Amino acid sequence: MKKVLIVAVLFTAMVFGCLGTGNAQTIENELYLITPVSKDVHDPVLKAFAEYAKKKFNVDVKTSAIPKGTPVAYGQIIEWKGNPQADIFWGGEGTLFDDLAAQGLLEKIQLPKKMWDEIPESIGKPVPLPLKDPKQFWVGTMLEPYGIIYQPKLVKRLGVEIKDWDDLLNPKLKGQIAQCTPDRSSSSHATVEVVLMTHGWEKGWDWMRKLAANTGIFTARSRDVPSVVAKGEFAVGFGVPSYMAFAEVLGGYDVMYVYPSNAYVTPEPMSVLKGAPHAKAAHAFIEFLLSEDGQKLISQLGVYPVTPKYKVQGAPGSNQEKAVAFTGGMRSFFDIQVGNVYNVQQAGDKKRIEDVNSYFRKEITEKHKDIVKEK
């Protein structure tokens, strides 16, 4: 009898759900992310979502995130074989998402059409960077560059000035640069690709070797790069997402940020995993994040809205204004001419990814000690 009742209730819920009387629809009381987006951003966003869910659905959602670098998260999702322990994959490069979609591991995103259409197809010149998947398997959620972070006190003491990529090759910075390896971090990977696509394969690697000669540490994870710079252990960090650098400012550290020419700009893609245990909560989460409230929230954290509709703007002294000052006065990526040389198709090729990673491993990390000695 009980079973029949449950089935009946479920059936009614389904019917009403399909009919679009959305108010009767509710969501699961749990939500799990697997994400390279660091705690600085995913924590406040999850918290805000829990409040939103309480208000809108009257559900107490228990949220948690599995923090993993993009390549690791990608591999983990494949390893789950369609039985994921998380609902949402958030962050990294769009091509990996295309790849997961091709393997049937993603679900189509359900968003109000208006919301979907507000997000532009792409950004950047001469090469356009897509901000959403035309097949609707992933959607961009926010914009941020992968640039350079530095410790002003140390940089001043070393007598260098940092304005663009090439300033990192100054011999005065020997042993002072922190970077992660491209196989552990998608921000490093994308930034290495920017170097390779700017200079070409051969000259690009020469550039990377020169950078390695100045490198003092290859960190275990990309998030360590801004940490060690903020602490003053190393003077400069390479390929750092702006919000990570800004998180250090919010944490009370004295750091500066540079958005160098043609730096990779990520839309931090988001997807619902196929077979997600809490799929409804997952779709609700995406809708929340792309709403005005969601976009306003992230604009306090050192990232930029993914639509031209919203700008980073706040009361004087607010985190928004601090963030604007921190990244040199920019309020929206749609206000400026975004330079981009990163070719998604080329960089996203599976073989290319492996080639770049293994070249870096063989010729840069494994030979690091020799490179430092030579130069």
Question: Where on the chain is the footprint of another protein (CB under 8 A)?
Answer: 30, 32, 38-40, 62, 64-69, 71-72, 74-76, 78-79, 83, 85-86, 151, 153-154, 183-184, 216-221, 223-224, 226-227, 230-234, 244, 247-248, 251-254, 353-354, 357-358, 365-366
94 versus 124: smaller Cβ distance to another protein: 94
131 versus 155: smaller Cβ distance to another protein: 155
Supply the minimum distance, in Å, between the C-beta of residue 145 and another protein. 18
Supply the minimum distance, in Å, between the C-beta of residue 113 and another protein. 32
Supply the minimum distance, in Å, between the C-beta of residue 294 and another protein. 20
Supply the minimum distance, in Å, between the C-beta of residue 363 and another protein. 12
Supply the minimum distance, in Å, between the C-beta of residue 256 and another protein. 13
Between CA 121 and CA 127 the distance in angstroms is: 13
Quickly tell me which residue has 């003491």 as its tokens. 157
41 versus 341: smaller Cβ distance to another protein: 41
106 versus 217: smaller Cβ distance to another protein: 217
Q: Residue 94 in contact with residue 133, Cβ under 8 Å?
A: yes
Show the beta-strand stretches assigned E in the chain: 30-35, 62-67, 88-90, 106-107, 122-123, 125-126, 129-130, 139-140, 144-150, 177-180, 215-219, 236-241, 256-258, 265-266, 269-273, 339-340
199 versus 209: smaller Cβ distance to another protein: 209
The sign of the dihedral angle between the CA atoms of 193, 199, 201, 205 is negative
Supply the minimum distance, in Å, between the C-beta of residue 92 and another protein. 11
- Tell me, what DSSP letter sits at residue 332? -
37 versus 162: smaller Cβ distance to another protein: 37
181 versus 266: smaller Cβ distance to another protein: 181
How far lies 265's CA from each of 112, 152, 327, in Å?
26, 24, 13
Supply the minimum distance, in Å, between the C-beta of residue 47 and another protein. 9
β pairing state of 339-340 and 236-241: unpaired
CB contact set of 65 (below 8 Å; sequence gap of 6+): 32, 33, 34, 35, 39, 42, 43, 46
The helix (H) or strand (E) run that includes residue 372 is helix 368-374
CB contact set of 210 (below 8 Å; sequence gap of 6+): 169, 375
Quick one: tokens of 117? 């259409």
